[in-house]
Structure 1
């Protein structure tokens, strides 16, 4: 029995006149109604809505640790399979054998990095290695070993005492035998683990998720000729049923996940942006207090208005102009900042951490990718607040980044898309974390910072590091460059998201007659969502909403992966049939 030919036509209904001409009204209107109801619900009772969002986040942490962990592991496995399998990897994402990519490799990579997690790296490259140096699963397990040894020797931990300091005192007093292979906070042993976990969160797990969605969309849009929208990636599973309500629901879920995924990224960026403004200007109303400066609600809302106005202008200019040029600018500024740390930072120490961190990450990746701890334990609490938070963030961000990557990757092969889209950003991020985070760690371990970097807020630690490296005048100049870089990353992420939302609403069409008007509407909508969440609880409320919004789309990505594998396997079978 001959294998049926693949589906190469999907008729998604769009309106033919008026404001919604060229748009699928069900997807567009349903998404707007949902966003409007969320904003009204939050603003009608800010305190209660914030508490409910937090409760939903805690429920997902308590019940979905395993689901999120195994989902990301599955995405990695499928993505690597389609990239490395010879007959899959050589497939061109385009119907013209002689077609050329629209963007140069530099612009392409700049847009991948800028739209992906450019904002987050500015914050977390400084902060995350520092935090993991003080606490991570290896340190927690070492603490448990010490407590068990103390218990078996009849030694009680005094109330409020630090476990590791008390253990070292007991060893010095010969009351307790030394224990091998412990990982002590802020020790040499903790350095390898600190960078391993930072690389784990920002490496292949994130980029395999993005690239899996991007490859699915690009394959079905450019190779099969289906619309560039989320439902098309499920064509081998559901066929023509995707033209109706089922397809509409899938695209609505993608729009909602995109909004809350980009809200998380914008929220972190706004917090860092406001911290940078305070570092430069010293304006008191930007932060809650000078001792432990955290951005005020007013500072976050002001920054939000500036960013979204600029993002709307950039999105209206299109991918080939505003988005492309902003991506190129922030990539140049990023390399300048990285060059500064390479020349003036703790370079040798950072390069040593880079090598050791990558080796440790690669060796431990298979085990880390499938490890799930009980959320009621200290290990589980760490996993939910770090790993599960990141997995939800990458999943919520995946429809936006995946569709954007597909949009800019026509006429590249699956292997080129995947290898460059995973390896290049991951290695770039590892260098960032090693140079910037390593310099911060070196300043602390050498005693120069005297705990001030450790004690500062997550979004302010980069500026604290710069403050210790340079005199006040030069620190102000470099901090100003970082603030500009943050702004360009914020605008790039937000304008790319606006274009993606428009594409999803327009049944995969990039250019639509009323597209500019809808970009303006969605700019206002995204601003309203982020602003309402800031009022409901700041970054915590944004994180809670993002984690909840990621749940339905995580299941859609699983279906997309199965759909892609089915399509590629059937294509091989069809090719064999033709040879017989």
Structure 2
């Protein structure tokens, strides 16, 4: 029996006049209403709404940790399958066999990296290895072994005592025999696990999620000629039904996930930006406490207004101008910052951590990807606080990054898209974590920092590292460069998100007659959402909203993966003939 030809036309109705000319009015208006309702709900009772957002986050942590874990594992498996399977990987994401990519490899990678994760890496490359050095699953399991040994030997742990410090005291007093294989916090034994878990969160898991969405969108838009929008990726499953309400709901879910996913990224970036401004200027109102500086609400709101004005202006100039040039600038600045740490940081130590970390990551990746711990345990609490938080973040960020990757990747093959889109950013991030985080760890383990980097807030640790490496004048110059880099990443991420939202609302059209007006509206809407969440609880409230928004879109990505596999398999069957 002959296989029906693939669907190559999807008629998504757009308005033909007025303000919404060129846009699907149902998707656009409904998305705006939902965003407005969220802002009004938060501002109507800031304290109560913040508490409710936190309760929803805790519920998802308790009940959905297994779902998030296995969803990410599924995304990785499907993405690697379509990239590595020979007949799938060589498919070109374009209808013209002689078509050339729109952007050079450097500009393409710069935009992938800048939009995908640039803000987070500046904060977490310094902070995450330091945090995991003090607490990670291996350390927690070592603690459980110590508690079991103490119990077996009839030794009571004093109330409030640190388990590891008490264990070392007991061993030193010969009251307890040393236990082989323990990993102690902030020790050389914990280095392997500190980098392994950092790589786990920022490597293949993140980029497979982004690239899976991007490949789906690019395949159906450029190889099949369907609109560049989320619903198109589900045509093998739902066909023409996607022209109506079902398709509208899918695109609205993508818009909402994009708004809250980018809110999390911008929130992290704003906090780092404000911390950097304090490091440079010493203006005390920027932070709540000069001893342990955390940005004030006023500093975050002022930074937000400044960033969003620049982002909206950049988005108005389009991908080929503002976004492209800003991406190139922040990539150059990123390499300059990384070069500084390569030359003046703990280079040999970092190289050792890079090699050992990658090896440990690859060996343990299958087990880590499929492991789910009981959220009521300490291990489960760590997993929800770190891994599940990241999985929700990557899922909420995926419609934005995936759409943006698809937009800039026409005429590349699936294998090229996937290998460069997964391997290159992952390796770049591993280098960042090793050299910046490794330098911070070396300063602490050598005693130079005296615990000050450990005790700093997450968004201030990079500036603390710079402060210990350089004299005040040089530290000020380098910190200024970091602040400028943060600003360019913030602007690039926000303006790319505005362009993606516009494309979703315009039924996949990149250029729309009234596009500029809608970019301004969505710039105001995104600013309002982030400002409201900052008032409702700062980064915690933003994180809570992002995690809730990620839930519906996580299921849509699963459907997109199944749809892509079905389309590719049927294409092979059609090529073989009856």
Q: TM-score, normalised by structure 2?
A: 1.00
Deviations 1:203-243 (A, max 9, x none): 00000000000000000000000000000000000000000
Secondary structure of the equivalent of 2:170?
A: helix
1:152 equivalent in structure 2: 152
User: 1: CA distance between counterparts of 2:400 and 2:366?
Assistant: 27
Report Cα offsets for 1:275-330 as digits up to 9, x if no partner. Answer: 00000000010000100110000000000000000000000000000000000000
The 3-state SS of whatever aligns with 2:496 is helix
Q: CA deviation at 1:161?
A: 1.1
Give the match for residue 470 of structure 1.
470
Partner of 2:259 in structure 1? 259
Measure the CA separation in 2 of the matches of 1:182 and 1:13.
62
Task: Map 1:363-512; keep pairs closer than 5 Å.
Answer: 363-512=363-512
Q: What residue in structure 1 maps to residue 34 of structure 2? A: 34
User: Where do residues 346-357 of structure 1 align in structure 2 (5 Å cutoff)?
Assistant: 346-357=346-357
Q: Secondary structure at the match of 2:182?
A: coil
Matching of residue 275 in structure 1 with residue 241 in structure 2: no
Cα offsets for 1:425-444 (capped at 9, x unmatched):
00000000000000000000
1:61-460 → structure 2 map (5 Å cutoff):
61-460=61-460
What is the CA deviation profile of residues 42-81 of structure 1, one whole-angstrom value per residue up to 9, with x for unaligned ones? 0000000000000000000000000000000000000000
The structural deviation recorded for 1:345 is: 0.2
Moved more, 536-545 or 167-176: 167-176
| Alignment of structure 1 residues 47-66 onto 2, 5 Å | 47-66=47-66
What secondary structure sits across from 2:266 in the alignment?
A: helix
**Distance apart, 1:12 and its partner CA:** 0.2
Rounded Cα–Cα distance in structure 2 between residues aligned with 1:417 and 1:189: 38
CA deviations over 1:345-404 (Å, ceiling 9, x no partner): 000000000000000000000000000001111000100000000000000000000000
Residue-by-residue CA offset, 1:435-476 (whole Å, 9 max, x unaligned): 000000000000000000000000000000000000000000
Shift of 1:173: 1.8
Aligned pair 1:565/2:570, yes or no?
A: no
CA distance in 2, matches of 1:61, 1:575: 46
Q: Distance in 2 between matches of 1:474 and 1:18?
A: 55
Distance in 2 (alpha carbons) for counterparts of 1:322 and 1:170? 62
Shift of 1:342: 0.3
Q: What's 1:546 paired with? A: 546
* Shift of residue 160, structure 1, vs aligned partner: 1.4
Q: State the Cα deviation string for residues 87-133 of structure 1 (Å, max 9, x = none).
A: 00000000000000000000000000000010000000000000000
Which residue of 2 is the match for residue 8 of structure 1? 8
The alpha carbon displacement at 1:176 in A equals 1.2
| Aligned mates of 1:527, 1:463 — CA distance in 2 | 26
Distance 2:156 2:11 in 1: 71
Which whole-Å deviations, capped at 9, do the CAs of 1:482-521 have from their partners, x for residues lacking one? 0000000000000000000000000000000000000000
In the alignment, the residues of structure 1 paired with residue 504 and residue 544 of structure 2 have an alpha-carbon distance, to the nearest angstrom, of 24
In the alignment, the residues of structure 1 paired with residue 373 and residue 150 of structure 2 have an alpha-carbon distance, to the nearest angstrom, of: 24
Shift of 1:186: 1.0
Instruction: Give, in angstroms, the shift of residue 189 of structure 1.
Output: 1.2
- Residues in 2 aligned to 1:310 and 1:433: alpha-carbon distance in whole angstroms: 29
Mapped partners of 2:72, 2:504: distance in 1:
24
Shift, 1:188, TM fit: 1.3
* Structure 1: distance between partners of 2:450 and 2:204: 34
Cα distance in 2 for partners of 1:404, 1:125 equals 24
Counterpart secondary structure, 1:504: helix
Corresponding position of 1:575 = 575
Distance in 2 between the 1:25 and 1:412 partners?
Answer: 32
Q: Tell me how far 1:178 sits from its aligned partner.
A: 1.3
Cα distance, 1:573 vs structure 2: 0.4
Query: How far apart in 1 are the matches of 2:156 and 2:16?
Result: 76
Greater shift after overlay, 205-214 or 159-168?
159-168
Cα displacement (A) at 1:162:
1.0
Map of 1:532 onto structure 2: 532
CA shift for structure 1 position 177:
1.5
Displacement of 1:187 in angstroms is: 1.2
Question: How many correspondences in the alignment?
Answer: 578
> 1:165 offset after TM fit, Å?
1.1
5+ long unaligned stretches in structure 1: none
Quote the Cα distance in structure 1 between the aligned partners of 2:98 and 2:128: 45
User: Take 2:569 and 2:446, find their aligned partners in 1: how far apart are those partners?
Assistant: 56
Q: Name structure 2 gaps, 5 residues minimum.
A: none
TM-score, length-scaled by structure 1: 0.99
